Chain A
Amino acid sequence: MKRPFLKSLVVVTAVLILPCLSSPVLSQEEPTYSVWSLWLAGHYTGYEDFHKKIGEFDRGEEGAMPEVKLSYSGYKGDQSWDFFGHFYDPKRASLDLSGRSRDVFSGKVSYRSSYRQRATDLLENLMAREAVDQQNTPGGKMFTYEHENPDADFGYTRHELKTDVQVKVPGSADLTLRAFHRSILEKGDDQKVVSMHCSSCHMVSKSADVDRRTHTISAGVEATAGPVLLSYLGSYRTFKSEAAVPGAFYDTAQHPVNRTLIDEFGSRTVFNGEEVPFGQIPETEKMAHTLKVKTDMGKNGDILGSFTNSRAKNKSAGLEVTGNSGSLKYVVNPSLKTKVIALASLAMIESDEAQIDLPLWRDGLTGGGQDFSWTRYSNLTRTVAKGSAEFIYQPNRKYRLFLSAGYEGIERDDYPYFEAKGKTTKLKASAGGKYRPNSRFWGRIRYSFENIDDPFSPYEQMFERAGTDVLEKLEYNNWYYYFQRDDLRYGSVTNQPSNVHSVELNLNFRPDQNASLSAGLKASLGTNRDTDSLDFERTQLQPQVSASVAPTPMWNLFGSLAYMYDKSNGLAAVAMMDG
């Protein structure tokens, strides 16, 4: 942990604790109640064989390790405080501290550290050379790999510090100030693989430092005036990687066998024969303002409106994304037995375009000088409109019926090409019921259907037609290349369904406070047969049964059996891989 991180921990802890200690309302007459517990133990962790792929999050320090837990809770009158600390090993520990004074002040500080084991890709599949004929004559295309640190054990420790403070302004019971903060620090190392081609496709595995820092602070105020609740929250987040950007030497581009064509291959690459950075993580920041207004309409329901403005920035590249969104939620009880929930929202996101400048292709060579520079338009630039209404009918405590319908329209202004106005439309409907004849039994069933018109799909088509008769040749040579070949592509493909049916059934039986039995089934079928040549299908099925018995306050026996079936069919992948 770096010093600023510790400093913020100390400052925030002091800010939190001081009001508790200096509270003027500490009643001398009130006794102090407290309870604490100390838990001492030890554990041993050992590994055998290749252990780099196991225990992504629960891999402890190897060897014997003491373990300590300490908890302390106390209260005096209307003030209370709690502490909980757990030391598992040097990479995994947690600490929670919270306090409350009357209904005026409450604060929490929590710290948590954990270790994430990263897998190591051995790259062993990347070793091959082409044969140019059936006589096994070696060709020029080949793959080789190299591990700079084959014995490295990659992973990083994650530290997370959170604080949360709420203060009611003295003398004004309806004005509350809120502030919270979170810092995440990830430090360690990870595997980075860099690939270079021209002169052989060569993959190099390197160890790269991880030092990622995310800080989020939020502050706001909420005020209540009669039935109206008004709140504002401003949030700011920064991200920066303090780790050195890894670099790799990219081979000089040349024909893998016949090195006389250096210029020919060199003119096909943006860079070669030099050390360049890779895996660079940009420094980013994001600011958002959220305003909310809620009007409580008494027995009749309430209306909630919100507006959010946000701006995200990639400081390294100078790119920005701005967003404005508003929503309105209206909950109304037309009668004592019915309720209507209506939602409407509109969001508009605009992402900067980027001009990509590339060297001229085959510059200085015959037929060269082709300009492959292009403008990157973003599919993040979009307008999203949502609307839904749900009707609930509850004639008595035993029955409750639901009926809902919803709409969502996503219009991507620049996808798949500039001003394309590609649009996805979703229509949703759902119906269900709940039956609870008494406090011992209840059951629920719900069916949902979603129709998605033009779900998200990549702009590139799947296959390439034979022949080049529809293409225009490049201006200065007879070749068909890159952009021209896009016109030969056909076969739209996606892994997104166009129709989804879902059913959910739950049955619960609780004969008394100490026993329960439940059974349920969830099933969904998503299909897409709208594409011109390739179908997609996903099936999920999960029956489950569980039982719980607590014969005494000291014993609680719980058993659960769940079966999960999840199958996805993307015929493009399966058919070709089988072939």
Chain B
Amino acid sequence: MLKSPKRFTFKRPVGITLACVIGLVFLSLVYVSGESPPDAVEVGDETCSMCHDEVSQDFKSNIHSRLAVGDDHTCEACHGPGSKHAEDGDPASIYNAPKDFTSTGKNMCAGCHRGVAYSSWDGLTHFEAVEGCSDCHKIHTEKKHLLAKQEPQLCFDCHTLKRSQARMPSHHPVIEGLVGCLDCHSVHSEDVKYTVGDDDRELCLSCHTSLSGPFIFEHEPVNEDCGICHEPHGTVADKLLMQNEPFLCLSCHPMHFHVTLVGYEGEFSAPLHPERTGVSTRDGIKQAVLTKCTQCHSEVHGSDLPSQSISGAGRALTR
């Protein structure tokens, strides 16, 4: 095997983009904002439970409560000092994270949930779309991951197009409960567990590893983007294909050169192999080469083995 010489250069658009980012870093240092603490003191969980007994009861087995064993100020750890609210009963006199959420402010939950798993949460598309963590999480319950609903229903509530696609004839087994949305999508960051590296195709290849290559004989769209041929959430066509064969293939490739042949009408047997018999029709050749390309080109994702014909330079992906 020969190795390519390095041919990478630092392009102007990249330089401009990086310069803009660095400029923004300096600009940001100009702006600093602050926030005053509420004018109240802590009163303890007992006081809270006098009115919010149902929530308090549920919260006892909640992971947040359990991690704060021995601390009788678990409510105020998030809601802040509650003496003023305990006195006047006014919801406005105590901190309520969902009502306080603004995209431009700091997220309160992120104060604790700030490891690498949440490193890119602020500014993530998902973060900007929701009205706070409580859109998906019910903080006081004891449900798994404190989710308001379990996936995929929780995700489908907003991603309605995916709900439709998940019920298409060809789909990943999300509805069947064998694959979850979180197996491919990381809700709080851009990292997906069990992927190796950050190649754009890695999300698919981390499970479909047999197709990862690199292969000696390649099919270029496989290197480019799995989404050129496949719609992962569900399709009418078989194998999550955007269109049925041969239409999908014909959107890039010319038709097979045998397609113009007129078919013989009647029974026949192969002269050199008399045991191979059949019935041909006028359109038989068209049906043979224009029904399903992958019947012959079966290794469409790539192969290390040359195909039979020299004139095809071994790259027909039939083997």
Q: Do A259 and B272 have beta carbons less than 8 Å apart?
A: yes
Kindly state the separation between the CA atoms of A308 and B197 in the bound complex, as whole angstroms: 7
Q: Do A323 and B309 have beta carbons less than 8 Å apart?
A: no
Kindly state the separation between the CA atoms of A458 and B250 in the bound complex, as whole angstroms: 11
Contacts of A356 in B (CB 8 A): 216-217, 306, 313-315
Q: Does chain B have a CB within 8 A of A471?
A: no
Q: Does chain A have a CB within 8 A of B243?
A: yes
User: Among A2-10, A15-23, A41-49, A570-578, which stretch is in contact with chain B?
Assistant: A570-578
10 closest residue pairs by CB, A with B:
A128-B284, A310-B197, A387-B17, A57-B173, A573-B250, A288-B197, A495-B251, A570-B251, A332-B28, A127-B278
Q: Do B251 and A392 have beta carbons less than 8 Å apart?
A: no
Q: Do B285 and A200 have beta carbons less than 8 Å apart?
A: no
CB nearest neighbor in A for B283: A128
Kindly state the separation between the CA atoms of A320 and B213 in the bound complex, as whole angstroms: 9
Interface size of B in residues (CB-CB distance below 8 Å): 141
With contact pairs A195-B295, A279-B319, A570-B251 given, residues A75 and B66 touching in the complex (Cβ less than 8 Å): yes
Contacts of B223 in A (CB 8 A): 351, 378-380
With contact pairs A131-B264, A203-B296, A279-B319 given, residues A436 and B17 touching in the complex (Cβ less than 8 Å): no
Q: Do B27 and A334 have beta carbons less than 8 Å apart?
A: yes
Distance in angstroms from B117 CB to nearest chain A CB is 9
Q: Does chain B have a CB within 8 A of A330?
A: yes
Q: What would 22 A/B residue contacts be, using CB atoms closer than 8 Å?
A: A127-B288, A136-B266, A144-B273, A193-B295, A199-B272, A199-B273, A229-B116, A256-B272, A257-B272, A269-B308, A270-B307, A292-B119, A303-B25, A325-B198, A329-B123, A334-B27, A336-B33, A358-B314, A460-B253, A544-B164, A546-B157, A570-B250
Residues of B at the A interface (CB closer than 8 Å) are 1-4, 6-8, 11, 13-14, 16-18, 20-21, 24-25, 27-29, 31-35, 61, 63, 66-67, 69, 99, 101-106, 114-116, 119-120, 122-123, 128-129, 131, 157-158, 160-161, 163-165, 170, 173, 176, 178, 193-200, 206-207, 209-210, 212-218, 220-221, 223-225, 228, 236, 238, 242-243, 246-248, 250-255, 258, 261-266, 268, 270-273, 276-282, 284-285, 287-288, 290-292, 295-296, 298-299, 303-315, 318-319
With contact pairs A199-B272, A301-B122, A458-B220 given, residues A330 and B104 touching in the complex (Cβ less than 8 Å): no
- Contact with B262, one of A130, A462, A536 (Cβ below 8 angstroms): A130
Q: Do B306 and A239 have beta carbons less than 8 Å apart?
A: no
Q: Do A542 and B161 have beta carbons less than 8 Å apart?
A: yes
Kindly state the separation between the CA atoms of A304 and B307 in the bound complex, as whole angstroms: 47
Distance in angstroms from B308 CB to nearest chain A CB is 5
Q: Does chain B have a CB within 8 A of A89?
A: no
Please name 15 further chain A to chain B contacts, defined as beta carbons within 8 Å, in addition to the given A127-B278, A299-B106, sorted by A numbering: A125-B292, A129-B263, A130-B264, A131-B265, A218-B193, A251-B273, A331-B123, A332-B25, A332-B28, A333-B105, A336-B105, A392-B128, A460-B253, A495-B242, A577-B290
Interface residue tally on A, bucketed by range: 35 or more
Distance in angstroms from B30 CB to nearest chain A CB is 8
Distance in angstroms from B240 CB to nearest chain A CB is 11
Kindly state the separation between the CA atoms of A123 and B245 in the bound complex, as whole angstroms: 14
Which of chain A's residues 12-67 have a Cβ closer than 8 Å to chain B? 27, 30, 33, 56-58
With contact pairs A216-B196, A352-B1, A463-B254 given, residues A128 and B287 touching in the complex (Cβ less than 8 Å): yes
Q: Do B248 and A129 have beta carbons less than 8 Å apart?
A: no
